[in-house]
Every structure is written in structure tokens, then in C-alpha cells.
Structure 1
């Protein structure tokens, strides 16, 4: 079912609220069934536990973001919209908000990501461009990050058949500037996607989220060239965690840009010497669990309010090392649902950090 305009506005506002990340966003929807009710309840939840410095984002700020989207022709997709890409909705946790310029229908199609070095060799760029073209001709949408080098070559090769660029900044943040012409072509013939507010400029902390969406949209990730410490290998790691297939193009041990793909091959990635290797590898892809169509936020929640003494007991068991909430529940001999609710409230007070996989830390 389609969400009402008021609920979609509330979900954008909830996603832009300080201390509400993707994990707590989903848990708030689970607990209150709607973002509108969650927003109404948040101030009291924080005050009850003695939290300070909490304020909801002003309505005017959200209205300004929506007005900016109208000016550039961007489309808002919130978690719970029928258009929210199924592969992203199945992530733990899913991204609460996406902005899209271009053809949003591409986000639901079978996709393969191609990523690699910004300072790429001519040979590496030729491979990425060829793979982009051939994967597109085989019916796949090609996903990448609009960076220099391998990303740009993959987008260029797949423009005729459909390509998706995922950005760290807002969907209007063209970076690097020398990819402006390519960006315009992708808006016209593909799609540009971002979680960040329109007008936001990409910062270092935004790129892991960007990489998570690149891998999350895709059935597999191909790494063409990358050094050992690179964002491309982070994308490959995220792909493994998400149950996607990872492919690596082997290279000369004399080239530092081959160390990343060669290491992935040692760790069990599929070898990619051509498009047939990718297609063959995807035939064995594990089936991804998708959220139930009727209620993607179904979860048990405790009856009544949690007292501050229980919140303090949960907080005392947290440390900088991520701890499973099931372990906390066993230590307290308490229902997991109550512990999850307590962790949510502690995160809103700034006393806990919620992490994917049911983990929490201080």
C-alpha cells in the first residue's frame, strides 16, 4: 500500500533526526507503526531517561529539502514505499531514505556493481568499460560510484543499457567535477541515487554508506583494480556480508592496483576474466531473504513503558565492544523485545549506539 503524503513527510523528518540512524529508524517504525507516531513520542522518550540536547528537525528544514528536490527534479523514496528497491529493503538495516534523479525503475532490476581504483590504468579502464557494456547487453543494470577511473569507465560502457550512480553527497553533488558531463548523461539515461540530503557535500564518513548501497543494489560486485586499503575492498566486504557474489579481475603482482583483486581471489572471490565468468557465477547466487510484502516492520514490542532502572541495568552491560542484544537479555533474564526497546531509548538519549545484526555498544 502507498504511504500517505503526511507519513512520507514524517519518515523523511524521522530519518533527518539526530541520533536516529538506520537501525533506530526501523525499530521506531516497529514500535510505533508509523513515523508520525514515532515523532510524537520521541521527546517524551528522551526526557524520561534524562537525555539532553535532543530536538526534532524543524518542519521548515524538511520543507526546504523537498523544495530543493522539486527544483532539480529529484524523487523521494522512503522505506515502506512500493518503489523502495527490494534488495535494499532486505538489508539489515535498510536505508530509510533515497533520493533519485533519472529512472527510478532501474533500482529494482537485476544489477551488477563494477568498482575499482580512481587512478586506474588504461587497461583497467578498458576492462571496466567492456564489462559494463557486455553486462548491459546481457540484461544487467551496472551500478558504480561515479568516481574517476574504473567507476567512470563502467558507467560509460553501460550508458546505452542502463547504469546507476550512487553518490556520497546529495544527488546534486557532482564529484569529481570533471565527471559533470557523465553525470548529466546518467541523469538522462540512467539514475543517480543518494541517501544524503539534497545540497549536501560528500564527506569521508558518507562513503561507507554509499558503498553499502552500491553492493546492496547489486547481485554481485566486480573489483577491477584496487589497492589493499581502498573503498573498493570495503564494498567487496559489504557485498560478502550482504550475501552477494564477489568477483575480482586478476592482475600483475608488480602493480599495486592488482593487490586488492588478487587478495580477494585468495579469500575465495570468483575470478573474472570476462563477462561469462560473472554471469556463470551469478547463477549460483544465494537466494536473498526479502521483507514480507504486507508488513516489513513486523516485530514484537513490549507492553507499557520501560522504567529508568531497567534502562540503567541495560546501559551498565554495554561497552565499546559491540554486544548482541540476546546476550544482554540472557544476562538480565529479560525478554529480548524489552531489551531491544531499552537499547532504542538509550540510543536516543545518546547512551548507546545501535549497530546492524542486533548489536549495541556505548
Structure 2
């Protein structure tokens, strides 16, 4: 990949309304990021709106700021882009990392849990992470309060990966400043956000998909129902990764999420040996093989006005799977996906989890 193509790909993913799905579709259709950037205004016009691409100067300033922090970019297609994450649907096209990127090629185990964790759970998480590190595993977590912090503290000596929901120059929570710096120096710090970006609420579910995507399995130590930790576990399970949970007292609300996961089929975990036994039993056929192909979301070079109208007529404010639109319209996947791409670029369509879409 040439330096110009790398720059254009970063510019493409930084442009408004371009997400992982539309990024792949545009590259699949136009071949290069430069050609995709030139085509965006026309595609948005076909969708009934306007779109622009991010200014090249803004991307140049972002790159300079990242380099000043001692960070570098990993783009999809790079040899050292994390292989397991590359297989994960919705994986970020561009990562900014600081530290030892080779850690992501190891046997990565995600550990997540409650921010307001009990003292017993914090102690258990720290010990479990330390034991996993001593056995050669790489612990991945999100540098949040509670279980995440304990997991990093236990494994920082053996190499840990911290995934954050903000720029590399931002520390959240503030009390983890020293820990975040230590991970950046001796482990690996990962984000998809440019320097200066603050940790907003919507960034955390997106961060969770990176945590799940980097790991062959996810351990939930303590979590309430409907918590972010359960989102991470669900994403891991949907991708064919191992989901593990530590049981807790039914009298503690913080244990209800873990107990629920176990009832639903998650592996019960009591120590590091349980974790390594569980991930060692994963049928590799359950995990997507190879890179998540750009062509998996086909797009067409031409859509008739009647075809476009047929797809739009099936859309509403209630989310619907894209596969359902293909079935109901009787049109090819390429045509339907092209119409959805045009509407998204025109700011008329939202993409939601599970491949669902809805009109804005």
C-alpha cells in the first residue's frame, strides 16, 4: 500500500457519514480510497442529499499529533493489523496504537466487568490476570474503573492491551494516568479515535467491539444486567469467540449478569486453568477465516430510479435487517446495498447493530 493510499484511506474513514461498512463498500466498488473520495458527493446526490470529505489538512494535522505522541497507525491491509480483529465484522479500518503491536498476535483473553466492582471481584480479577499472563496469555481490557483496572494491574508486568474510548492523549478515568502510561510503555495502548477526542458515551460500545475482536475469548468477572460488559460478551459470542463468566452470589446485583451468562451457556470460570482450557477447545471453524472481505458487502455501479424507489419505499424509522430488504424487494444484494450507501452518505439512513438500517 502506497503512502498516498494510506493517507487517502485515513481521510476516507475520517470523512462524515463513513463507517466501517460504507468504508468497505466504497473500496470494493472503486478500488482505491482516492477514487472513493472523489465519488462521495455524487453518491450522496443520488441519495437525495449532500456530502463532503474531510479536509486533507485536518488529516495531516492528526497524523502529526499522533506521531508527536509516539503513536502509529495500523490500517486494514497492514501485515501487523491484529488478525483476530481483522476477522471481526465492524472492525475499525484504522487503529492508532502506542507500544508493542506484536502483543495483539498473541493468545489474547479479554477481561471485563463492573466499574463499581466488589473488593472480592477486584482481587480475583487481578489474580486471574496475573496468572494468565504468567501462562503466556495477553490480557485485553478497557482501562475503566473496577474490573478493567484490576485486570491491567495484574497483567501489566507480562504485557497487557488497553483499549480506550478517546484519543491517546486523553486519560479516562483520571486516576489511571500512571497505569495508562505504563501500558503505553510496556504493553499496547489502542484506540480508533484521533488525539484530542474525549470519551463520549457512544464511544464505549464501539470500544467494546474492539476488546471482543482482539481476543479469542472474553471473561466477565462481575456485571449487572444490561451492562457494557454484557455487550462485549454478546459481541464475542456472535463472532464465534468463547464467552466465560465468573459466578457470584445471587444476592449481589453485580453478579446477576455473570450468572445470567452462565445460564445461557457461558463457560463457568474459577481460575486461569479454566480459561485456558475453554479457549483451547474453540473449534477454529467457528471463527471467521481470513480478512473480513471488502466484497462481502457488494455494491453496484448503476441503480435504476425504479430500483432506488423500491428500496426506499420499504424503509422506515423502525430498524429492519438489510437482508430483509433484499428479500422483500426482489433486487440483487448489490443494488440494495448501493441504495443504502447512497442514503447513508446523504444523511438519510442510520446503520444499527446486527446489520439493521432505518431512515433518520
The alignment's C-alpha RMSD in Å is: 1.8
Instruction: Kindly state the Cα deviation for residue 355 of structure 1 after the two structures are TM-superposed.
Output: 4.3
Task: Describe the SS at the equivalent of 1:202.
Answer: coil
C-alpha contact 1:92 1:357 (8 A) present in aligned 2: no
Task: Say which is worse superposed, 196-205 or 112-121, in terms of deviation.
Answer: 112-121
Instruction: Kindly state the Cα deviation for residue 153 of structure 1 after the two structures are TM-superposed.
Output: 1.0
Are residues 149 and 49 of structure 1, via their aligned partners in 2, closer, same or farther at CA, if it must alter by over 3 Å?
A: closer
Instruction: Kindly state the Cα deviation for residue 303 of structure 1 after the two structures are TM-superposed.
Output: 5.7
Instruction: Kindly state the Cα deviation for residue 310 of structure 1 after the two structures are TM-superposed.
Output: 2.5
Which one of the candidate residues 68, 73, 76 is aligned to 1:71? 68
The corresponding residue for 2:331 is 334
Give the whole-Å Cα distance in 2 for the aligned partners of 1:302 and 1:185: 44
The corresponding residue for 1:32 is 30
Give the whole-Å Cα distance in 2 for the aligned partners of 1:236 and 1:215: 7
Corresponding position: 1:207 with 2:201 = no
The corresponding residue for 1:153 is 150
C-alpha contact 1:133 1:157 (8 A) present in aligned 2: yes
Corresponding position: 1:100 with 2:97 = yes
Instruction: Kindly state the Cα deviation for residue 44 of structure 1 after the two structures are TM-superposed.
Output: 1.4
Instruction: Kindly state the Cα deviation for residue 33 of structure 1 after the two structures are TM-superposed.
Output: 1.5
Give the whole-Å Cα distance in 2 for the aligned partners of 1:95 and 1:203: 17
Are residues 74 and 34 of structure 1, via their aligned partners in 2, closer, same or farther at CA, if it must alter by over 3 Å?
A: same
Matches within 5 A, 1:1-362: 3-52=1-50, 54-287=51-284, 288-291=287-290, 296-298=293-295, 301=298, 304-355=301-352, 358-362=355-359
Are residues 140 and 65 of structure 1, via their aligned partners in 2, closer, same or farther at CA, if it must alter by over 3 Å?
A: same
TM (norm. structure 1) is 0.93
Are residues 302 and 186 of structure 1, via their aligned partners in 2, closer, same or farther at CA, if it must alter by over 3 Å?
A: closer
Give the whole-Å Cα distance in 2 for the aligned partners of 1:196 and 1:214: 15
C-alpha contact 1:110 1:219 (8 A) present in aligned 2: yes
Q: Which runs of 5+ in 2 are unaligned?
A: none
Length, aligned pairs only: 357
Q: Which runs of 5+ in 1 are unaligned?
A: none
Instruction: Kindly state the Cα deviation for residue 356 of structure 1 after the two structures are TM-superposed.
Output: 5.6
Deviations 1:192-213 (A, max 9, x none): 1011111100100000000111
C-alpha contact 1:320 1:361 (8 A) present in aligned 2: yes
Give the whole-Å Cα distance in 2 for the aligned partners of 1:110 and 1:346: 40
Task: Say which is worse superposed, 348-357 or 164-173, in terms of deviation.
Answer: 348-357
Deviations 1:79-133 (A, max 9, x none): 2222211111111122111110111111222100111111222211111111111
C-alpha contact 1:93 1:356 (8 A) present in aligned 2: no
TM (norm. structure 2) is 0.94
Give the whole-Å Cα distance in 1 for the aligned partners of 2:241 and 2:273: 17
Instruction: Kindly state the Cα deviation for residue 263 of structure 1 after the two structures are TM-superposed.
Output: 1.4
Give the whole-Å Cα distance in 2 for the aligned partners of 1:218 and 1:171: 21
